[in-house]
């Protein structure tokens, strides 16, 4: 199989569903060897040849095992995609210590542990690409998502720091900041609205392209960032949101 990522070795965390699953599928189609993980088994079969390993990225021993599995099976690592994450829809006073541990464990500690594990390996091999999945929520505070918003701000800041500290090692580090992507996570967010149907209509009307995003939209950006086409791109947050954040807060459907 040939493609933009032919024979590259990629670790993609959180590949069981949603954006992660879309990235796994597209990387496989582009010729990459893919090792993915999740806390639970994928609901349906992954593409043939994709390796799945159970892992909680908040646990250092799981991250180390994931890193070692990629090296043992494929001999090297070229790309890390930090996609695993959770969303908790609460204001700060509503957020419990247990909520904090769960969300910060996946969204912050997990990204930190995975990057820390992979960077020395990329240094020894002459470089590679780290792609962190941030969010437009790291720029603009979504209501009742206090620590989720904060966690994505961390992802963006860490991305810049890795790019600055390790660019001379040949390591590029970028983030993708998705907008409203049609996944189970977004479905759950709409379901919590007072009027879910109205909330979804309003969100759709705010997209300049007239539709909400799909996992394959994010996967396309991830392929480009992993490829040699993006060889001079690092330390950047790439917003992929169909024009959502380009617009004023006025709902265009009212005009």
Q: What are the pLDDT tens digits along the chain (255 aa)?
A: 579 999 999 999 999 999 999 999 999 999 999 999 999 887 677 899 999 999 999 999 999 999 999 999 999 999 999 999 999 999 999 999 999 999 999 999 999 999 999 999 999 999 999 999 999 999 999 999 999 999 999 999 999 999 999 999 999 999 999 999 998 878 777 877 788 888 889 889 999 999 999 999 999 999 999 999 999 999 999 999 999 999 887 766 666
The pTM of the full predicted model, rounded to 2 decimals, is: 0.95
Counting beta carbons within 10 angstroms of the beta carbon of residue 66, is it exposed (0 to 12), middle (13 to 18) or buried (19 or more)? Answer: buried
Taking phi first (over 0 means left), then psi (-120 to 50 degrees means alpha), and beta for anything else, what does residue 51 get?
beta
CATH superfamily of 9-183+216-239: NAD(P)-binding Rossmann-like Domain (3.40.50.720)
Task: Determine the 3-state secondary structure of 51 from DSSP.
Answer: strand
Q: Distance (Å, rounded) from C-alpha 182 to C-alpha 40? A: 21
Active site annotation includes 139: no
Active-site choice (27, 74, 112, 148): 148
């Amino acid at each position: 199989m040939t493609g933009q990522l032919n024979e590259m070795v990629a670790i993609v965390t959180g590949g069981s569903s949603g954006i992660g699953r879309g990235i796994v599928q597209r990387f496989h189609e582009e010729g990459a060897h893919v090792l993915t993980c999740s806390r639970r088994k994928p609901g349906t079969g992954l593409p043939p040849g994709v390796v799945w390993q159970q892992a909680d990225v908040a646990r250092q021993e799981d991250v180390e095992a994931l890193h070692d599995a990629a090296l043992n099976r494929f001999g090297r690592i070229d790309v890390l995609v930090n996609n695993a994450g959770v969303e908790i829809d609460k204001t700060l006073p509503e957020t419990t210590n247990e909520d904090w541990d769960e969300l910060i464990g996946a969204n912050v500690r997990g990204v930190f542990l995975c990057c820390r594990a992979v960077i020395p390996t990329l240094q020894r091999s002459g470089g590679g690409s780290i792609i962190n999945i941030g969010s437009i929520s790291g720029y603009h505070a979504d209501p009742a998502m206090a620590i989720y918003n904060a966690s994505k701000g961390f992802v963006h800041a860490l991305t810049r720091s890795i790019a600055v500290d390790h660019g001379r090692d040949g390591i590029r580090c970028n983030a993708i900041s998705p907008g409203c992507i049609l996944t189970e996570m977004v479905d759950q967010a709409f379901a919590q609205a007072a009027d879910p149907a109205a909330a979804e209509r309003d969100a759709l009307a705010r997209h300049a392209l007239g539709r909400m995003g799909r996992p394959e939209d994010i996967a396309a950006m991830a392929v480009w960032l992993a490829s040699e086409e993006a060889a001079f791109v690092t330390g950047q947050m790439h917003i992929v949101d169909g024009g959502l954040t380009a617009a004023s807060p006025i709902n265009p459907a009212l005009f």
